[in-house]
Structure 1
């Protein structure tokens, strides 16, 4: 596993000594756990902010972007460690990512630290999307994500910000129309479409029902 170029520059013991004493912040300025501004990722927040700035300054934002999660393998003990049963990497740190949907170029990351103590109380998926698109104001970008993030309320908020969004949606989401066709009345290949407050709901019957909120969002929300 050794890399000769690196081994010639630095010994293992030297690397471990630097890693043991490497800090990116002033521990004295860290808010207490009871503070509304407490951040579990405080010790690496400046590093993430630096990389996010570099990512976005190195390439202009593209018109089509995707938001999803990524797992970083970690087997140690940490309160932020996550367990994802259906992921190839089941245990580790979860990273929220905004990337170019065509090339995969990464524009922004954020570490999953658990429930936030400050800000409005909204769904986790909705709050993540709104936070990750703050640097896309006025660009008219198209945002794609899966059913963890998507909801009718999120679509309305994105439409107000001139952001077109598309993704599958879980049937249990709040404000899902009650008049969607029942699964038992549909056969494979059937498509049912309805529109409420300018948001189009498309239900497709495959092996099981799939609901999507497509990109052509129109109208206003009241």
Structure 2
């Protein structure tokens, strides 16, 4: 939160000259205000208002009282427009090496906290999830069979019993990789690093499954369950006979 407050205040200061005189709240923000704005975003989702226009959330006649009781519409709008999670002044240079740089630092801290505050059960799963997003993003994907269809694809390792997200990696497109392993195998090995040598079991679908991955997991003390396409070359023809 300290990092978000710092860079949001930098953005507010940079944009103050562009704000109209009718904008009342143009000063610096703090942790309390930002936490309150995040709380309103959660409430908006809980009330199924994630696609409702901002103007319809604050009216006395139709809007939920908690929005007006927390902060004014102008203040909320100011915080959302200027919310920043990294140094905007150096982003362009960092983006040449990392497309995810705008949220990379906060994301890594978040995932680290997820790992440090939970011990997964003996059964975990690895799969992809499309986080709905229709904004401007160079690695936004379109997957027609997903509920949201447009969004950012995240590879996740989750506890099979509680569905807790233990580790995650964003998919930002093809890039130079340090290994010659297939991309699915690389994702599974990277996500499962914190649980290597623990004799846990990983379950995956047919996009991740391969004999090479099963052997790689066995070497690091992980068992494996997964489905396989029948056209995989490693499957013996004897298994394919009717």
Q: TM-score, normalised by structure 2?
A: 0.67
Q: Where does 1:1-222 land on structure 2 (aligned, <5 Å)?
A: 1=49, 2=57, 4-27=65-88, 28=90, 30-31=93-94, 33=96, 38-173=97-232, 176-182=234-240, 185-186=241-242
CA distance in 2, matches of 1:82, 1:64: 29
Aligned pair in 2 of structure 1 residues 25, 167: CA closer, same or farther (>3 Å)? Answer: same
Corresponding pairs, count:
179
Task: List per-residue Cα deviations over 1:45-75 (Å, max 9, x = no partner).
Answer: 1121121122122221221101111111122
1:73-106 Cα distance to aligned partner (Å, 9 max, x none): 1223321111112222211111111111011111
1:85-134 CA-partner distances (Å, limit 9, x unpaired): 22222111111111110111111122111113231132221111011011
Question: CA separation in 2, counterparts of 1:168 and 1:148?
Answer: 9
Computed over aligned residues only, the root mean square deviation of the Cα atoms, in angstroms, reads: 2.0
Structure 1's 118 and 15: CA in aligned 2 closer, same or farther, altered over 3 A?
farther
Question: Is the radius of gyration larger for structure 1 or structure 2?
Answer: 2
> Secondary structure in 2 aligned to 1:99?
strand
Runs of 4+ residues deviating >4 angstroms: none
Determine which structure has the larger helix proportion and give its number.
Answer: 2
TM-score by length of 1: 0.73
**Contact 2:121–2:161 (CA under 8 A) maintained in structure 1:** no
CA, structure 1 residues 6+180, in 2 after alignment: closer, same or farther (shift >3 Å)?
A: farther
* More strand per residue: 1
For residues 22 and 155 of structure 1, do their structure 2 counterparts lie closer, same or farther at Cα, with a shift above 3 Å needed? same
Cα distance in 2, alignment partners of residues 110 and 4 from structure 1: 38
**Stretches of structure 2 lacking an aligned partner (at least 5 in a row):** 1-48, 50-56, 58-63
Structure 1: which 5+ runs fail to align?
187-222
Contact kept, 8 Å, 1:69 with 1:97, in 2: the verdict is: yes
Q: Deviations over 1:168-187 (max 9, x none)?
A: 012344x51343333xx42x
